[in-house]
Amino acid sequence: MWRWLIPLSVVPVLALLAYGFRVNPHEIPSPLVGRPAAPFVVRAFDGTEVSLAGLRGRVVVLNFWASWCYPACYEEAPALERAWRTYRDRGVAVVGVAIQDKPEASRKFIADFSLSFSNAPDPDGKISVDYGVYGVPETFFIDRAGRIRLKQTGGVTDELFRAEIEKLLGEPA
Amino acid sequence: MRPGSVIVLVVVGLAAVIGASAATVSAESPSAAKGTVDEETVHRVAAQLRCVVCQTLSVLDSPSEMAAQMRGIIRERLGAGQTPDEIVQYFVDKYGEWILLAPREHGFNLLVWAAPVVAVLVGLAIVALLLRRWTRPRAEPVATIDPKLRERVRRELESPP
Amino acid sequence: MIPELGYGALVVGVVLAVYGALAAAAGAHTGRPALIESAQHAALAVFTLVTACFLLLAGALLTFDFSVRYVAQQTTLGTPFYYRVTAVWGALEGSILLWAWMLALYTLIVVVRHRGERDLYPWALSVMLGIIAFFLLVMTIPAPPFQRLLPVPADGRGLNPLLEDTGMITHPVALYLGFTGFTVPFAFAMAALMTGRVGDAWITTTRRWTIVAWYFLSLGLLIGGWWSYHVLGWGGYWAWDPVENAAFMPWLTGTAFLHSVMIQERRRMLKLWNISLVILTFGLTIFGTFLTRSGVIASVHAFSQGSIGAFFLTFLGLVLLSAFGLLAWRWDLLRAQGELDGILSRESAFLLNNVFLVAAAFTVFFGTVFPLLSEAVRGVKVSVGAPFFNQVNVPLFLSLIFLMGVGPLIAWRRASIDNLKRNFLGPVAIGVATAAVLHLVGVRSALAVLTLALALFTTATIALDVLRGTRARLRTGAGVVGAVTSLLLRHNRRYGGFGIHLGILLVALGVTGSQAWSVQTEATLKPGQVVELAGYRVRFDGLSAVQESTHARVVGTFTVSNGGGAPIVMHPSKKFYPHEQAPIAGVDYRMGFREDLYLVLGDFARDGSEATVKALVNRLVSWIWIGGLVLTLGALLAIVPDDKRA
């Protein structure tokens, strides 16, 4: 009678492996959502200094990208620029950080997409590690109180911007 | 030697082997020199962390740029006086438990650490049971001899040639 | 035209394989030879069709037929001839074709060797054809190799640059020969269960298959390690990546199986266990295939996603449930009493060997799926990597090295004190002496001392046995060489096994040395600057750029001096492929018996004014590859046909 336990014991293993189809091993949930965003001070490609502290009170969209990140970064760059132009006067800041990239390639990317928001390099990788970045593109939505509210892995779309920014703008600072 | 004592000897011997090796795996490297950033310590910390852009390589082994940057961050933090454990915790705070290449030994994770021990113990228990069954003394059938035959044989043997 | 022909051949192949499986099963059940012969014809036809597919795919690759998606994905107009041939198995669909072709070839060999036999062979044939049918089915639905690509591109994408290496030609072939090889013992085991003939027949029939399959699996693993060490640019040969583990687990259970069948052959014990082991081993080969292709667990090797994972999981489920179900059905036939006179005996040594090997396989399996389990139960993703596997497996492998020394020399049934003293006093003394010497010489790592002491203990047991055997023959007047040769050939299984054990010990030596005593450093240098490591002075000279047929290459020139000899020049490089995001490292190394020097080029400035280099001195790594050679010789000796009855 107990002998039938042997074939039966295979079933939970199969079930576990089948569960594997439902999860994506490449998507790591971030422990930073809901926590205060790590401060940073960077010198943008155009020479200006940008700090998270200086943006306090505004909704901040922090976007990590690289010029070799094709096609996702190339697809989302226009959306980022559109979001910046739409919301810059309503208290929203868009900051781009180029990681693991060569400065000339980054500048070309900025010029190609006519990006007018601040973009800065992260040569030591400290900012990307501070934000738990493991791939590009990744975008963080930081509310007016300086807390990370959403981490988007992969490209951002106009709809996502609209939904998230409107929600965060509606909250008190 | 009695089977019982032999089993004890074998098990103690194997346990000594296992215990010695398990203890020494963790106690390999020398401690860091005071005041300077010891590369060995950087290596030790980096070996515990998973390189986030490769699949299963550690930050120490990975040839990727991200890993080199992470090693730089480790080096810098060690130089600033942070302990290896604090640095590891920093990375866990940013990336989650996933960034550790070996699961922390508490809670649910104890299952995976216990697996080898349990497997060996269950195996040894089964072997012990089997050996006991196989070495159980069996009653030898004693052949009974027909007394008439025995008498006849005796007469044949004792009769003069 | 060609792609459609190939697809058609696969469809016909599926039908014929299914027919053959059913015919062979029906023939086995009813005892009618005509059905079995019909199945044999089907097997031959399937082999022909799969070979034709193989040739068609190779032809498409060689003629740059970019209308076939597989060709466009893997080659460009500049891909050299030999890589176009190896591209046949370079990606998912082709690798399944290679697997299916090997299965078909093995089935044909089984037919040729066993046709006319009535007992096990018909069922075994049925099982093999059924398995082939599955793999062919995979190629007709989720993973078709002959899919068209329209519009036809002018040039292809190119082979994954990591695969442009001689290891690429050999590693998958060896590994698959190993995996598919275990199908034959499995098929005969199933035949044994179906017919109730669960004695030795299925084991003795498949003995050589088992050794050959085990050997190729070992070879595949070693070549994979070589490839990882020389191509991937991280200085290591094994990362406990899930797909590496997937190949290692059947090796572990396969090794256990190799040993425990010897007990069944000698003493008629462990029937149940042996069948379970072969089912487990075959199941693990399918599990490995599933892991590699389903994307369920993140790995550097994983080919792709899609519905193929579901196909393999279903197949795995069917195989395990039916095989273990058959086992449970025949439970009573398999339980037999065994007899032992003493607990200290070869039987117990072999049983312990099995415990540790299967425990290791279980540990690796559990560690590999634990991230999935953790996510399912806790919702938290964890990683299980090298630090875990190294730590838990070391004690198990050390125990196995010890058992390798004890097993072959301890007596069957019961070892007397005399037997123990005679065979082990010397080697134990040598082991202890080794430990003492190493300790005196200043070796810090207790683990290294323990490993080397055990390894030398085991080597001493082997040497002792060869010595005694040779001495006995010398007394009959033979010369030394003649004595040794006749000893090895007369008992080729035993000494072949010793050769394999020696090979494993050398691998253990290499692993110990590289884990315990390797050092590395990295530095950013300007031309003329030097970094020092373990007595080597590495000077950065400059960078140069080269254009190859498939990629652009930046080569760093480094002059290395070592105190004594003349300085050597090394050229680690970075290869830039048009379709790859990150550059691929091209390492340069110098191998030696004592240590390897290994250079990896890191980041560099465009103008050549600066370069980061990682230098590694890996100690004793070459002994891993030497161990592989010795293992090969041992395996060859073991399968030499003997003149005495098997």
Residue range C285-335, pLDDT digits in tens? 999 988 887 767 765 554 455 688 889 999 999 999 999 999 999 988 887
Window from C277-291, C356-370, C419-433 with minimum mean pLDDT: C419-433
Q: Which residues of C touch B131 (CB under 8 A)?
A: 340, 343, 348, 351
> What is the CATH number for A61?
3.40.30.10
Q: What is the C-alpha to C-alpha distance for residues C588 and C575, in angstroms, rounded to an integer?
A: 13
- The answer to whether C605 contacts chain A (CB < 8 Å) is no
Confidence of residue B32 (pLDDT cuts 50, 70, 90): very low
Question: Domain span at residue A148?
Answer: 31-170
Option in B52, B91, B96 nearest A29 (CB) = B96
Position C276 pLDDT exceeds 90? yes
- The residues near A169 (Cβ < 8 Å, ≥ 6 apart) are A59, A87, A90, A91, A92
Q: How many domains does chain A divide into?
A: 1
Q: Are C238 and C244 in contact (CB under 8 A)?
A: yes
In the predicted model, what is the mean pLDDT of residues B19-36? 43
Q: Which residues from A are below 8 Å from C276, CB to CB?
A: 6
The residue with greater pLDDT, C563 or C461, is C461
CB B95 within 8 A of CB B67: no
What confidence tier does B53 reach under pLDDT thresholds 50, 70, 90? confident
The answer to whether position A1 is within a domain reads: no
Chain C, 202-261: which have a CB under 8 Å from a chain B CB? 233-236, 239-242
pLDDT confidence band for B35 (50 / 70 / 90) = very low
pLDDT at B12: 52
Q: In which band, very low, low, confident or very high, does the pLDDT at C646 lie, cut at 50, 70 and 90?
A: very low
Residues C298, A4: C-beta atoms closer than 8 Å: no
pLDDT in tens, A51-92: 999 998 899 999 999 988 888 899 999 999 998 998 888 889
**3-state SS assignment for residue B161:** coil
Kindly tell me if the per-residue pLDDT of C52 is higher than 70: yes
Nearest to B93 among A29, A31, A125 (CB): A31
Residue recorded with tokens 């998507």? A27
pLDDT at residue number C392: 93
Q: Do B96 and A130 touch (CB under 8 A)?
A: no
Q: Identify the pLDDT of residue C220.
A: 94
Name the band, by pLDDT with cuts 50, 70 and 90, for residue C188. Answer: very high
Provide the whole-model pTM.
0.89
Chain C window 115-154: which residues touch B at a Cβ cutoff of 8 Å? none
CB contact under 8 A, B94 and A124: no
- At residue B1, the pLDDT reads 42
Chain B residues in contact with A40 (beta carbon < 8 A): none
A28 neighbourhood in chain B, CB within 8 Å: 95-96, 98
How close, in Å, is residue B73 to chain A by CA atoms? Answer: 7
Higher pLDDT, A84 or C343: A84
- Which of A39-53, B137-151, C338-352 has maximum average pLDDT? A39-53
Q: Is the pLDDT of residue C17 over 50?
A: yes
Average pLDDT over residues C456-472: 88
Distance from CA of C14 to the nearest CA of B (A): 36
Average pLDDT, chain A: 89
Contact: B94, A28; criterion CB under 8 Å: no
CB contacts of C233 in chain B (<8 Å) are: 63
The answer to whether the Cβ–Cβ distance between B25 and C402 falls below 8 Å is no
Where are the strands (E) in C344-493, listed by range? none
Please name the member of A100, A126, A135 whose beta carbon is closest to the beta carbon of B73: A126
Establish if A15 belongs to a structural domain.
no
> What pLDDT is recorded for position B28?
38
Q: What is the mean pLDDT of residues C224-250?
A: 90
Helix residue ranges per DSSP H, C157-270:
166-181, 183-195, 201-231, 242-267
Whether the per-residue pLDDT at B5 is higher than 50: the answer is: no
CA–CA separation, C169 and C163 (whole Å): 9
User: C45 with C37: CB under 8 angstroms?
Assistant: no
Find the range with the poorest average confidence among A7-11, B132-136, C447-451.
Answer: B132-136
Percent of chain C with pLDDT over 90: 46
Please give, one letter per residue, the 3-state secondary structure of C335-373: CCCCCCCCCCCHHHHHHHHHHHHHHHHHHHHHHHHHHHH
Q: How many helices (H) and strands (E) does chain B have?
A: 6, 0
* Range B8-26 average pLDDT: 50
Please provide the average confidence, as pLDDT, over all residues in chain C.
Answer: 88
Within 8 A of A130 by CB-CB distance, chain B residues are 94
pLDDT of residue B56: 84
Residue ranges of the domains in chain B?
3-102, 105-161
Chain B touched by A40 (CB under 8 Å): no
The nearest CA of chain B is from the CA of C467 a distance in Å of 27
Q: State residue C645's pLDDT score.
A: 46
Pick from B65, B73, B96: which is nearest to A31 by CB? Answer: B96
Q: Which residue has the higher pLDDT, C202 or C419?
A: C202
Where residue C504 falls among pLDDT bands split at 50, 70, 90? very high
Q: Is C82 on the interface with A (CB under 8 A)?
A: no
User: How close A3 gets to chain B, by Cα (Å)?
Assistant: 16
Mean pLDDT of B32-40: 60
Max distance between CA atoms of chain C, in angstroms, equals: 82
How many residue pairs bridge chain A and chain C with CB atoms within 8 Å of each other? 60
* CB-based contact C375 A23, cutoff 8 Å: yes
C316, A70: Cβ pair inside 8 Å? no
CA gap C278, C240 in Å, rounded: 24
Instruction: Answer whether B101 touches C (CB < 8 Å).
Output: yes
Q: Does B67 touch chain A (CB under 8 A)?
A: no
At B48 the pLDDT is 94
Q: Is the complex ipTM higher than 0.90?
A: no
User: Which fold is adopted by the domain B3-102?
Assistant: Helicase, Ruva Protein; domain 3 (1.10.8)
Three-class SS state of C570: strand
Q: Is any Cβ of chain B less than 8 angstroms from the Cβ of C348?
A: yes
B35 Rama sector, left if φ>0, alpha if ψ -120 to 50, beta otherwise: left
pLDDT digits (tens, 9 = 90+) for C77-93: 878 888 888 888 888 88
A neighbour chains, 3+ CB pairs within 8 Å: B, C
Separation in Å, CA C46 to CA A87, A167, C130: 66, 63, 12
Question: What percentage of chain B exceeds 90 in pLDDT?
Answer: 41
Neighbours of B, requiring at least 3 CB pairs below 8 Å, are: A, C
Which residue, chain included where needed, has tokens 């920093």?
Answer: B90
Summarize the confidence of residues B63-88 as an average pLDDT.
Answer: 91
Q: What is the mean pLDDT of residues C616-631?
A: 93
Residue C494 confidence (pLDDT) above 60: yes
- pLDDT over threshold 80, residue C119: yes
Going by pLDDT thresholds of 50, 70 and 90, the confidence category of residue B25 is: very low
Question: At CA C423, angle to CA C418 and CA C425, rounded to 5?
Answer: 85
Q: At what angle do helices C2-30 and C33-62 cross, to 10 degrees?
A: 160
pLDDT of A155 above 90:
no
State residue C493's pLDDT score.
87
Candidates A28, A64, A129, A133, partner chain B, best to mutate (most B CBs within 10 A) = A129
What pLDDT score was predicted for residue C156? 79
- A35 found inside a domain: yes
Strands (E) across C10-128 are located at: none
Q: Looking at the domain assignment, is residue A95 inside a domain?
A: yes
CA of A10 to nearest chain C CA: how many angstroms apart? 7
**Between chains, do A6 and C373 touch, taking CB under 8 Å as contact?**
no
Q: What's the mean pLDDT when you consider all of chain B? A: 78
CB atoms B112 and C359 under 8 Å: no
The answer to whether C399 contacts B22, with C-beta atoms less than 8 Å apart, is: no
A16, A28, A102 member nearest C372 (Cβ):
A16
Looking at residue B36, what is its pLDDT? 59
Q: State the average pLDDT over residues C131-149.
A: 90
Region C574-585: mean pLDDT is 79
Which residue type does C225 have? G
Tokens linked to C578: 């048009």
Q: Is C481 on the interface with B (CB under 8 A)?
A: no
pLDDT at B140: 59
Q: Is the pLDDT confidence value at C396 over 60?
A: yes
pLDDT given for residue B160 in this prediction: 65
CB C239 within 8 A of CB B61: yes
The region that residue C17 occupies, defined by phi over 0 for left and psi between -120 and 50 for alpha, beta otherwise, is alpha
Q: Is the peptide bond before A7 cis (omega within 30 degrees of 0)?
A: no
Low-confidence winner among A154-158, C264-268, C543-547 (lowest mean pLDDT): C264-268
- Hey, which chains touch C, using 3+ CB pairs under 8 Å? A, B
B137 in contact with chain C, both atoms CB, cutoff 8 A: no
**C643: confidence class by pLDDT, cuts 50, 70, 90:** low
In B, residues 40-79, which contact C (CB 8 Å cutoff)?
43, 47-48, 50, 54-58, 61-65, 68, 71
Give the chain C residue whose CA is nearest to the CA of B26: C391
Contacts of A13 in chain C (CB under 8 A): 369
- Model confidence band, residue C165 (pLDDT cutoffs 50, 70, 90): confident
Q: Verify whether the Cβ–Cβ distance A129 to B65 is below 8 Å.
A: no
Q: So what's the pLDDT on residue C299? A: 57
What pLDDT does residue C122 have? 94
Q: How far is the CA of C177 from the CAs of C170, C213, C286, in angstroms?
A: 10, 6, 14
Q: Which residue has the higher pLDDT, A140 or C549?
A: A140
Residues of C in contact with A29 (CB under 8 A): 381
